[in-house]
Chains A and B, each alone.
Chain A
Amino acid sequence: MVGGGGLDLLCNGVKIHHVDVPHKDQNRLEMRDLLAWVQSNLIKERPEMFIKEDSVRPGVLVLVNDCDWELCGGLGAELEEKDVVVFISTLHGG
């Protein structure tokens, strides 16, 4: 799992996390499960900078295996072993 665009700062500056997310339903892990897990296990400060309501806050792009999660089911996107999930905050500077 990779965080960028400042989101790494919410996890003590760590950009890349290899995570093993336990899931209740043996057959299926969805993006919504990962978000909940990240929020309670990785985010060290200012959770509002990552989560809004039950999804990511506006201005954060979520990429599952280098693909916009909107193209693969959003919160319902199914995750598998070794998937790479990237959370990236949009930048505006120049």
Chain B
Amino acid sequence: MDAMIMSNGSSDILHEIEKLKLEKEEIERRLSLLEAKLNRNPGEAVEMEVNRSCSSCLSMLDGHGEAVNGLNADMIYRYSRHLLLPDFGVEGQTNLAKSSILVVGAGGLGSPILLYLASCGVGCLGIVDDDIVELNNLHRQIIHPEAFVGHPKVKSAAASCRVRFSFRSWINSSIKLVVHNEALKGSNALDIVSKYDIVVDATDNLPSRYMISDCCVVLDKPLISGAALGMEGQLTVYHYKGGPCYRCLFPIPPPTAACQRCSDSGVLGVVPGVVGCLQALEAIKVASGIGETLSGRMLLFDALSSRIRIVNIRGRSLQCVTCGPNAIFTRQMFQAFDYEGFTQSSMSDKARPELHLLPESSRISCKEYKAVVDNREAHVLLDVRPSHHYRITALPDSINIPLPALEINVSLIDSSLKEATKVSGKEASLYVVCRRGNDSQRAVEYLSKNGFPMAKDIAGGLDSWVKDVDPSFPIY
């Protein structure tokens, strides 16, 4: 009986083995078909990269036979969650694949914009920036790995974008990434921007914002504009479907004192992240043609109080010198326009205007001040930075009176000087320091007219102290 059962059992097993062998053959046949396709595709993609301009590329999506809707099997799988959206679907995805988007700035805003646009299937993605990755960028510029500190931001950003889709390069052979390792300026903007359908402003300065907006009007491109500073963000879409441009809203630039930068005012890392994500979203909507964009509206984000306000803004201005009905803003005028002069502000964060308020007799260098300390000369060191700066780092034995509070604290300076004089038995001097050497000059100017004619500015502030005296002193 046992033998019978075994015999019956082994015939069952033999049958099962035959069945599996047939299935294996079928699977191997399918595998080799797919592998043949895989080996064929990279070559095609390379050729197409070479021959393609940035404007559009749907033609390359068909021609594989299997895609009637312009999407091949790999794209269908990769973007399936987009395709499942009734409001987005195949049409949205193929529109994205046909579009080309230029992102100006690979910083805090540009980081999420580029990562999302590289991942979502935009046909051509351009990055323009001439900046270098710095360690103090990394808390918000999440596209840059630490290994790229000191390297061009566009290269670092492109590397991060490529790992979004090139780990199996054949899958997304439809996507092209173009790197412009230069600053976008009046002289090159027409050339660069004209190659794209949509522009995203992810810059960090006022003259660039006017320049990019004007360029988009001249070339008739929609502009997704975002900004972030401190704990706040702003976002809108300019020059789209009859909506206003940047100049319609801000025909006259603000005074330079109102133009704060992240390097002075700080920025919470996730704030540009949120704004950048929303910019990517608006860009995807414009590119795919779905939904309702922020054209004619502005989104105001207050991170500290968790408030988002969306307001209606004015339409295209009849008086606008760029996009108004009577405007004659030509390409030539655009190229000749002095945006830095117009805004009294620099496109580069590096070029800071140096203040020269004081005669040389009212200033000493950091090295000279070091000698004062080393020789134990009687003195008071007054630090006029804001108190939250003072808490980051400060020179030893300094007193902190922020510049705006100087006037009401004159008696404190007076008593500190008297104390120092008493301790040493010699007349104490007064030195004033700040972060970069501008506010300290303003302070010395005030003090010298208000009872402290011997007050001296430490030229170049703590920045120069690090450069000229103590490289280990913390810089921020």
Binding site for B on A (CB under 8 A): 4-6, 15, 45-46, 48-49, 57-61, 63, 66-68, 70-71, 86, 88-94
B200 CB to closest chain A CB (Å) equals: 11
Binding site for A on B (CB under 8 A): 105, 107-110, 202-206, 209, 226-230, 232-234, 249-255, 257-262, 265, 267, 272, 298, 300, 302, 305, 309-314, 404
**Looking across the interface, which residue of chain A has its beta carbon closest to that of B208?**
A92
**Looking across the interface, which residue of chain B has its beta carbon closest to that of A64?**
B311
**Looking across the interface, which residue of chain A has its beta carbon closest to that of B108?**
A94
7 closest cross-chain pairs (CB), A and B: A59-B254, A93-B229, A58-B252, A91-B227, A70-B314, A94-B109, A94-B204
7 chain-A/chain-B pairs, Cβ below 8 angstroms: A4-B302, A15-B302, A57-B258, A58-B255, A89-B258, A90-B249, A91-B232
**Looking across the interface, which residue of chain A has its beta carbon closest to that of B109?**
A94
Contact B209 A92 (CB under 8 A): yes
Contact A58 B249 (CB under 8 A): no
Instruction: Report the tally of A-B residue pairs with Cβ distances under 8 A.
Output: 105
Contact A93 B260 (CB under 8 A): yes
- Residues of B contacting A90 with CB < 8 Å? 227, 234, 249-250, 254
**Looking across the interface, which residue of chain A has its beta carbon closest to that of B226?**
A94
Contact B309 A92 (CB under 8 A): no
Most chain B CB within a 10 A radius of its CB, from A6, A67, A91: A91
CA distance in complex: A90, B38 (Å): 51
Most chain B CB within a 10 A radius of its CB, from A4, A60, A70: A4
- Residues of A contacting B251 with CB < 8 Å? 58
Contact B314 A57 (CB under 8 A): no
Contact A61 B228 (CB under 8 A): no
B interface: dominant SS: mixed
Q: For the A-B complex with A45-B404, A61-B298, A93-B229 known, give 14 more contacts whose Cβ atoms are closer than 8 Å.
A: A4-B232, A6-B230, A6-B260, A48-B257, A49-B255, A58-B250, A58-B251, A59-B250, A67-B312, A88-B300, A89-B258, A90-B254, A91-B234, A94-B227
CA distance in complex: A88, B227 (Å): 13
- Residues of B contacting A59 with CB < 8 Å? 250, 252-255, 258
Known: A58-B250, A66-B312, A68-B313. A93 touches B255 (CB 8 A): no
CA distance in complex: A27, B100 (Å): 55
- Residues of B contacting A88 with CB < 8 Å? 234, 300
Contact A49 B314 (CB under 8 A): no
CA distance in complex: A63, B105 (Å): 29
A57 CB to closest chain B CB (Å) equals: 6
CA distance in complex: A86, B202 (Å): 25
CA distance in complex: A91, B233 (Å): 7
Known: A4-B302, A68-B313. A61 touches B249 (CB 8 A): yes
**Looking across the interface, which residue of chain B has its beta carbon closest to that of A60?**
B254
CA distance in complex: A59, B252 (Å): 7
Contact B254 A58 (CB under 8 A): yes
- Residues of B contacting A71 with CB < 8 Å? 312, 314
Known: A66-B310, A68-B313. A94 touches B232 (CB 8 A): no
B83 CB to closest chain A CB (Å) equals: 32
Contact B249 A49 (CB under 8 A): no
- Residues of B contacting A68 with CB < 8 Å? 311-314
- Residues of A contacting B314 with CB < 8 Å? 68, 70-71
Contact A66 B311 (CB under 8 A): yes
CA distance in complex: A60, B251 (Å): 11
Contact A86 B309 (CB under 8 A): yes
A25 CB to closest chain B CB (Å) equals: 27
**Looking across the interface, which residue of chain B has its beta carbon closest to that of A71?**
B314
Contact A49 B309 (CB under 8 A): no
B92 CB to closest chain A CB (Å) equals: 27
B248 CB to closest chain A CB (Å) equals: 9
**Looking across the interface, which residue of chain A has its beta carbon closest to that of B259?**
A92
CA distance in complex: A46, B228 (Å): 23
Contact A67 B226 (CB under 8 A): no
- Residues of A contacting B312 with CB < 8 Å? 66-68, 71
Known: A91-B232, A93-B229, A94-B226. A49 touches B311 (CB 8 A): no
Contact A94 B255 (CB under 8 A): no
- Residues of B contacting A6 with CB < 8 Å? 229-230, 258, 260, 265
- Residues of B contacting A60 with CB < 8 Å? 254
A71 CB to closest chain B CB (Å) equals: 6
Contact B228 A91 (CB under 8 A): yes
Contact A4 B300 (CB under 8 A): yes
**Looking across the interface, which residue of chain A has its beta carbon closest to that of B141?**
A94
CA distance in complex: A25, B384 (Å): 47
CA distance in complex: A66, B254 (Å): 22
Question: Which residue in B233, B258, B267, B309 is a CB contact (below 8 Å) of A66?
Answer: B309
A14 CB to closest chain B CB (Å) equals: 12
CA distance in complex: A15, B255 (Å): 22
CA distance in complex: A24, B166 (Å): 69
CA distance in complex: A4, B109 (Å): 20
